Amino acid sequence: MINHVESPILEIHDLTVSYDQSPVLWNVDLSLPSGKLIGILGPNGAGKSTLIKAIMGLVAPSGGYVKLFDKTLEEVRSRISYVPQRESVDWNFPASVLDVVMMGTYGKLGLFKRPGKKEREIAMECLEKVGMQGFAKRQISELSGGQQQRVFIGRSLAQNADLYLMDEPFAGVDMATESAIFELLQQMTSEGKTVVVVHHDIYSAVNYFDWFIMLNLHLVASGPKEAVMTEDLLRKTYGGKLNLLTKVSELIRQKEFNPLKN
Amino acid sequence: MSDFVYFFTFQDSSIAFVVIGIILLGVGSAYVGTYSFLDKKALLGDAISHAVLPGICLGFILAGTKNPIYIVSGAFFSGALATFLSSWLRKNTRLSEDAIIASILSIFFGFGIVLLTVIQKSGNPEMAGLNQFIFGNAIAILEEDLWIYGGLAVFIILTLTAFQKEFSLLVFNAEYGSAIGYPMGLIRLVFNVLMILSVIIGIQAIGVVLMAALLITPGAAARFWTDKLSYLVILAGVFSAVSGVLGTYISFVLPQMPTGPWVVVFLSLVALISFLFAPKRGVISRYISRRSYLKRTHQDHLLKALYRAGEKDKTNLSIEEIYETYPFQKKESNQSIKYLTKKGFIIQNQSFITLTSKGKSESKRIVRLHRLWELYLNEYMNIAPDHVHDSAEKLEHILTPELEQLLESRLNYPKLDPHQETIPRDNDEL
């Protein structure tokens, strides 16, 4: 059940990604409409984060390609914003909340140049949008999980992009923060932005997103909520890993080289 | 004393050169080292500082003299080779990082010692003093050395300052840096070059082996004092420069003393002082705040005991009864009684202790927090009434007024706790 769309904002063509040779994503082929709130669903180890990293060029694919706004990543990088997983950084790093949010302006600022008053103002605006303006001077080590997540989203907003790719922005946050973040994402899509979110909780996902990508090492489904939220597809997504696919992965891992590499 | 005045007034221009050199190298290496410490790559600095030795010896063999340009180039070459090898091995083998670092360190250093022995056996009269490259001799820094080593240190400091935002991004979240299109691989390469250079600037004054300490210790010590990157870098630089100058002074006064080890001794002293005395993070301040917290909990418990006596229509407790309630804590009990009397919470009349009105309201507050928490655990977390006391006994001391308000409204201003005891409010009679 894979719905392709006309003039997609993101087109993924036969993407295969391997870690240490063993493939973690097989032949993902999909296209996404713009202005939608899109959820990536799948069990642990299904390749959800890997898909986002491959779109951002952070992991090299062993096959296939990604096109954004019908262009290559390098041509449109400034229009795309990436929110990494909260646990991927050391929050004991000596920096203030404002310092981190200001990193969102670095892309436009470029190398060498130091952030100034303008960047500070942008960062403060974005902190306000995520409800953290009172925390600007706070050290990031003193933040709660939900606040850390807000800081990361604030940093992403400071990029003022058209397409947002967020890796588990709802992980480890309290209910109040979760609904605040969700409202913010909805507001962004109503302004015409596209937001793609890796999400782990299937129950809340049904209420949050209008388009779903379902992954389990391979693409199970991609389409509007009404079309893909079926028991059958959910069972295919969450019903354990495909035995045969895992066995083939194991076989490839034991080779001295990666046969899937171009 | 006259030595002291002579050294620190810089009457001798060669001493001035040495001091300027040691300050520059101290600040430069502490600056780089602070970033690599934050990046959790402290061991890489150690490996590089050992790995430059064979390069130094090769430079010497090629030049035939202690030509600083040959020596610096040789050191840079072997340091770069070691860094490259360690990242290549990590990418292309399944060896773990610690195994790679440990083997590179010992292989390069062992090879360096072999070359050093070969040079010493060769009978070259110039070889005298090559040993200094292991432990360093700051006093032997000449003006021409200063131009090279000092120049490199200035280069390191300027580059780090110019790329501050890029290096912070590298350490904090390199993946995000790549996502916004920064050439993080190149930035990592520049940083590694600075690491190698920061080891090289110390080979004459501190010696190769001990440069690792100069890289990491200042940043690690400064981390105890501050949470701000800008202060951290400055403080690390100051620690390093001060230790450098003191170490140089020692090797000036006692000429047989090598500089490097003395600098490290002073640095360790700074680190020890930071570890012990730094506010908030220091061991002693943590000990003191724990002690004062324990004292406060004891005072709270005493007030609670008086309140509970009041619930049983007993207006006071004798000191003996208090001792019995807290066996083996006679000293603490006396301290608490003294403190609470001074604060006006209790009055001692002969050997009987009574709550004042201020004490009543404080004791009610503690009992209220205790019982509210018990009720919360029981109602919201389904914990049986006979299992809630221990947790409440600890949390009654730390719950804030905001949390108290939240508990009250969540539980809808309850009258009784899970043991059917009254939850006291301020205007209740006692």
Summarize the confidence of residues A11-19 as an average pLDDT.
91
Residues of A in contact with B226 (CB under 8 A): 94
Looking at residue B115, what is its pLDDT?
A: 92
CB atoms within 10 A of CB B307: 21
Summarize the confidence of residues B163-191 as an average pLDDT.
94
pLDDT in tens, B240-253: 999 999 998 888 88
Looking at residue B79, what is its pLDDT?
A: 95
Residue A207 inside a domain? The answer is yes
Backbone angles phi, psi at B360, to 5 degrees: -60, -45
* Distance between A103 CA and the closest CA of chain B, angstroms: 8
Residue A189 inside a domain? The answer is yes
For chain A, the residue count is 262
Looking at residue A83, what is its pLDDT?
A: 96
Residue A144 inside a domain? The answer is no
d(CA A103, CA A132): 16
| Confidence band, pLDDT 50/70/90 cuts, at residue A243 | low
Continuous segment of H or E residues that includes residue B272:
helix B259-277
Summarize the confidence of residues A83-103 as an average pLDDT.
94
CA-nearest residue to B227 within chain A is: A94
Q: To the nearest whole percent, how much of chain B has pLDDT over 90?
A: 50
* B11 pLDDT higher than 80: no
pLDDT in tens, B36-57: 999 998 889 899 999 999 999 9
* B221 pLDDT higher than 70: yes
* Distance between A227 CA and the closest CA of chain B, angstroms: 32
Summarize the confidence of residues B77-96 as an average pLDDT.
92
d(CA B260, CA B244): 8
* B430 pLDDT higher than 70: no
Higher-pLDDT residue of A3 and B114 is: B114
* A90 pLDDT higher than 90: yes
Summarize the confidence of residues B254-275 as an average pLDDT.
90
* Mean pLDDT over each residue of chain B, to the nearest integer: 89
Inspect the interface and report whether the beta carbons of B165 and A95 lie closer than 8 Å. Answer: no
Looking at residue A240, what is its pLDDT?
A: 63
The CATH number for A23's domain is 3.40.50.300
For chain B, the residue count is 430
Q: Which residues pair with A235 in a beta bridge?
A: none
Residues of B in contact with A89 (CB under 8 A): 172-173
Residue A232 inside a domain? The answer is yes
* Distance between A240 CA and the closest CA of chain B, angstroms: 29
Looking at residue B257, what is its pLDDT?
A: 80
d(CA A85, CA A149): 9
* B94 pLDDT higher than 70: yes
Looking at residue B128, what is its pLDDT?
A: 67
Residue A208 inside a domain? The answer is yes
Write down all domains in chain B, each with its CATH number in brackets.
2-278 (1.10.3470.10), 285-355 (1.10.10)
Looking at residue A70, what is its pLDDT?
A: 92
d(CA B376, CA B72): 68
| Confidence band, pLDDT 50/70/90 cuts, at residue B233 | very high
What is the number of alpha carbons within 13 Å of residue B145 lying toward its C-beta? 24
Nearest beta carbon to residue B165 from set A74, A114, A141: A114
Residue A107 inside a domain? The answer is no
Answer for the pair A170, A158: CB distance below 8 angstroms, yes or no: no
* B396 pLDDT higher than 80: yes
Selected residue of A86, A96, A106, A109 to mutate for chain B interface (largest B Cβ count, 10 A): A106
d(CA A93, CA B299): 38
d(CA B21, CA B149): 7
In degrees, to the nearest 5, what angle opens at C-alpha B175 toward C-alphas B170 and B179? 110
Q: Which residues pair with B346 in a beta bridge?
A: B355
* Mean pLDDT over each residue of chain A, to the nearest integer: 90
Looking at residue A85, what is its pLDDT?
A: 94
Inspect the interface and report whether the beta carbons of A95 and B232 lie closer than 8 Å. Answer: no
Summarize the confidence of residues A35-48 as an average pLDDT.
91
* B166 pLDDT higher than 70: yes
Looking at residue B171, what is its pLDDT?
A: 95
Amino acid residing at B248: T
Q: To the nearest whole percent, how much of chain A has pLDDT over 70?
A: 96
CA-nearest residue to A103 within chain B is: B169
Residue A136 inside a domain? The answer is no
pLDDT in tens, A43-79: 888 899 999 999 999 999 988 999 999 999 999 999 9
Q: To the nearest whole percent, how much of chain A has pLDDT over 90?
A: 64
Question: Which residue in B104, B102, B122 sits closest to B112, CA to CA?
Answer: B104
* Distance between B39 CA and the closest CA of chain A, angstroms: 9
Higher-pLDDT residue of A246 and B228 is: B228
Residues of B in contact with A82 (CB under 8 A): 176, 179-180
Question: Which residue in A185, A183, A218 sits closest to A48, CA to CA?
Answer: A218
Q: How many CB pairs under 8 A join A and B?
A: 66
What are the C-alpha distances in Å from A232 to residues A216, A220, A228? Answer: 14, 10, 9
CA-nearest residue to B163 within chain A is: A112
Inspect the interface and report whether the beta carbons of A84 and B168 lie closer than 8 Å. Answer: no
Looking at residue A255, what is its pLDDT?
A: 74
Count of domains for chain A: 1
* A261 pLDDT higher than 70: no
Backbone angles phi, psi at B352, to 5 degrees: -110, 140
Q: Which residues pair with B318 in a beta bridge?
A: B352
Amino acid residing at B134: I
Looking at residue B429, what is its pLDDT?
A: 66
Residues of B in contact with A78 (CB under 8 A): 181
d(CA A88, CA A136): 22
Residue A132 inside a domain? The answer is no
* B158 pLDDT higher than 70: yes
| Confidence band, pLDDT 50/70/90 cuts, at residue A262 | low
Amino acid residing at B340: L
Nearest beta carbon to residue A84 from set B40, B162, B173: B173
Answer for the pair B375, B423: CB distance below 8 angstroms, yes or no: yes
* A247 pLDDT higher than 90: no
Nearest beta carbon to residue B181 from set A100, A107, A141: A107
Higher-pLDDT residue of B161 and B66 is: B161
Inspect the interface and report whether the beta carbons of B180 and A106 lie closer than 8 Å. Answer: yes
Q: Residue A61: give the domain boundaries.
A: 10-86+159-253
Nearest beta carbon to residue B165 from set A57, A96, A115: A115
Residue B422, both tokens: 């009254």
Residues of A in contact with B168 (CB under 8 A): 95, 99
Which regions of B335-420 does DSSP assign to beta strands (E)? 346-349, 352-355
Selected residue of B36, B37, B165 to mutate for chain A interface (largest A Cβ count, 10 A): B165
